[in-house]
Structure 1
Protein backbone atom coordinates (compact mmCIF):
# COMPACT_ATOMS: atom_id res chain seq x y z
CA UNK A 1 0.00 0.00 0.00
CA UNK A 2 2.86 2.39 0.81
CA UNK A 3 4.33 1.73 -2.62
CA UNK A 4 1.09 2.71 -4.35
CA UNK A 5 0.75 5.85 -2.24
CA UNK A 6 4.33 6.83 -3.05
CA UNK A 7 3.73 6.21 -6.76
CA UNK A 8 0.52 8.23 -6.64
CA UNK A 9 2.23 11.15 -4.92
CA UNK A 10 5.14 11.02 -7.37
CA UNK A 11 2.82 11.04 -10.38
CA UNK A 12 0.74 13.83 -8.85
CA UNK A 13 3.83 16.03 -8.42
CA UNK A 14 5.00 15.29 -11.95
CA UNK A 15 1.55 16.16 -13.30
CA UNK A 16 1.63 19.49 -11.43
CA UNK A 17 5.07 20.22 -12.88
CA UNK A 18 3.85 19.50 -16.40
CA UNK A 19 0.82 21.76 -15.90
CA UNK A 20 3.05 24.58 -14.64
CA UNK A 21 5.36 24.25 -17.64
CA UNK A 22 2.43 24.14 -20.04
CA UNK A 23 1.13 27.37 -18.55
CA UNK A 24 4.54 29.00 -18.87
CA UNK A 25 4.77 27.84 -22.48
CA UNK A 26 1.35 29.26 -23.27
CA UNK A 27 2.22 32.63 -21.72
CA UNK A 28 5.50 32.69 -23.62
CA UNK A 29 3.74 32.03 -26.90
CA UNK A 30 1.25 34.81 -26.23
CA UNK A 31 4.10 37.23 -25.52
CA UNK A 32 5.94 36.12 -28.65
CA UNK A 33 2.86 36.58 -30.79
CA UNK A 34 2.27 40.04 -29.36
CA UNK A 35 5.87 41.06 -30.12
CA UNK A 36 5.74 39.69 -33.65
CA UNK A 37 2.20 40.31 -34.80
CA UNK A 38 0.87 43.36 -32.94
CA UNK A 39 -0.67 45.40 -35.77
CA UNK A 40 0.83 48.67 -34.52
CA UNK A 41 4.09 47.82 -32.78
CA UNK A 42 4.98 44.27 -33.85
CA UNK A 43 7.98 43.18 -35.87
CA UNK A 44 5.85 42.43 -38.93
CA UNK A 45 4.30 45.91 -38.90
CA UNK A 46 7.70 47.53 -38.36
CA UNK A 47 9.30 45.56 -41.19
CA UNK A 48 6.46 46.48 -43.54
CA UNK A 49 6.81 50.14 -42.61
CA UNK A 50 10.56 50.01 -43.20
CA UNK A 51 10.11 48.44 -46.63
CA UNK A 52 7.55 51.08 -47.57
CA UNK A 53 9.83 53.86 -46.36
CA UNK A 54 12.84 52.58 -48.30
CA UNK A 55 10.67 52.22 -51.40
CA UNK A 56 9.40 55.80 -51.04
CA UNK A 57 12.88 57.24 -50.51
CA UNK A 58 14.86 55.26 -53.08
CA UNK A 59 12.25 53.97 -55.53
CA UNK A 60 11.54 50.52 -56.88
CA UNK A 61 14.65 50.20 -59.02
CA UNK A 62 17.24 51.21 -56.41
CA UNK A 63 19.58 48.43 -55.21
CA UNK A 64 18.81 49.13 -51.56
CA UNK A 65 15.11 48.53 -52.13
CA UNK A 66 15.83 45.46 -54.24
CA UNK A 67 17.84 43.98 -51.35
CA UNK A 68 14.86 44.07 -49.00
CA UNK A 69 11.96 43.71 -51.41
CA UNK A 70 12.25 39.93 -51.51
CA UNK A 71 12.08 39.52 -47.74
CA UNK A 72 8.60 38.33 -46.86
CA UNK A 73 6.84 39.32 -43.66
CA UNK A 74 3.31 38.20 -42.98
CA UNK A 75 0.93 38.26 -40.10
CA UNK A 76 0.08 35.06 -38.31
CA UNK A 77 -2.85 33.16 -39.75
Structure 2
Protein backbone atom coordinates (compact mmCIF):
# COMPACT_ATOMS: atom_id res chain seq x y z
CA UNK A 1 0.00 0.00 0.00
CA UNK A 2 1.46 3.40 -0.97
CA UNK A 3 2.41 5.74 1.84
CA UNK A 4 1.66 9.44 2.22
CA UNK A 5 5.32 10.08 1.41
CA UNK A 6 5.05 8.14 -1.85
CA UNK A 7 1.97 10.12 -2.83
CA UNK A 8 3.76 13.35 -2.01
CA UNK A 9 6.71 12.29 -4.16
CA UNK A 10 4.47 11.46 -7.11
CA UNK A 11 2.65 14.76 -6.73
CA UNK A 12 5.93 16.69 -6.59
CA UNK A 13 7.23 14.92 -9.71
CA UNK A 14 4.02 15.71 -11.61
CA UNK A 15 4.09 19.36 -10.56
CA UNK A 16 7.75 19.76 -11.51
CA UNK A 17 7.22 18.11 -14.87
CA UNK A 18 4.24 20.37 -15.56
CA UNK A 19 6.30 23.45 -14.64
CA UNK A 20 9.21 22.41 -16.87
CA UNK A 21 6.84 21.69 -19.76
CA UNK A 22 5.12 25.06 -19.31
CA UNK A 23 8.48 26.86 -19.28
CA UNK A 24 9.53 25.02 -22.43
CA UNK A 25 6.25 25.70 -24.23
CA UNK A 26 6.44 29.41 -23.41
CA UNK A 27 10.05 29.64 -24.53
CA UNK A 28 11.32 30.48 -21.06
CA UNK A 29 13.78 27.56 -20.94
CA UNK A 30 15.35 25.81 -23.93
CA UNK A 31 15.80 22.03 -23.92
CA UNK A 32 19.44 22.17 -22.84
CA UNK A 33 18.59 24.23 -19.76
CA UNK A 34 15.78 21.86 -18.79
CA UNK A 35 18.22 18.96 -19.06
CA UNK A 36 20.65 21.04 -16.97
CA UNK A 37 18.02 21.45 -14.24
CA UNK A 38 17.48 17.69 -14.23
CA UNK A 39 21.22 16.99 -14.15
CA UNK A 40 21.66 19.38 -11.23
CA UNK A 41 18.87 17.63 -9.36
CA UNK A 42 20.44 14.22 -10.01
CA UNK A 43 23.87 15.47 -8.92
CA UNK A 44 22.42 16.76 -5.66
CA UNK A 45 21.22 13.27 -4.84
CA UNK A 46 24.39 11.59 -6.13
CA UNK A 47 26.47 13.75 -3.79
CA UNK A 48 24.19 13.52 -0.74
CA UNK A 49 25.49 12.04 2.49
CA UNK A 50 23.73 10.27 5.32
CA UNK A 51 22.97 6.86 6.68
CA UNK A 52 23.15 3.82 4.41
CA UNK A 53 19.35 3.86 4.05
CA UNK A 54 19.36 7.57 3.21
CA UNK A 55 22.17 7.04 0.69
CA UNK A 56 20.22 4.18 -0.92
CA UNK A 57 17.19 6.44 -1.30
CA UNK A 58 19.28 9.26 -2.76
CA UNK A 59 20.87 6.85 -5.26
CA UNK A 60 17.43 5.62 -6.30
CA UNK A 61 16.24 9.19 -6.84
CA UNK A 62 19.35 10.05 -8.86
CA UNK A 63 18.85 6.94 -11.00
CA UNK A 64 15.24 7.91 -11.63
CA UNK A 65 16.19 11.43 -12.70
CA UNK A 66 19.00 10.12 -14.92
CA UNK A 67 16.60 7.68 -16.58
CA UNK A 68 14.23 10.58 -17.28
CA UNK A 69 17.11 12.42 -18.97
CA UNK A 70 18.24 9.36 -20.94
CA UNK A 71 14.70 8.32 -21.89
CA UNK A 72 13.78 11.61 -23.45
CA UNK A 73 10.46 11.81 -21.64
CA UNK A 74 7.83 14.43 -22.40
CA UNK A 75 9.93 17.22 -20.86
CA UNK A 76 12.47 16.71 -23.66
CA UNK A 77 9.94 15.92 -26.36
CA UNK A 78 9.55 17.82 -29.67
Question: Which protein is bigger by CA-based radius of gyration?
Answer: 1
Please, what TM-score do these two structures have when normalized by structure 1?
Answer: 0.39
Please, what TM-score do these two structures have when normalized by structure 2?
Answer: 0.38
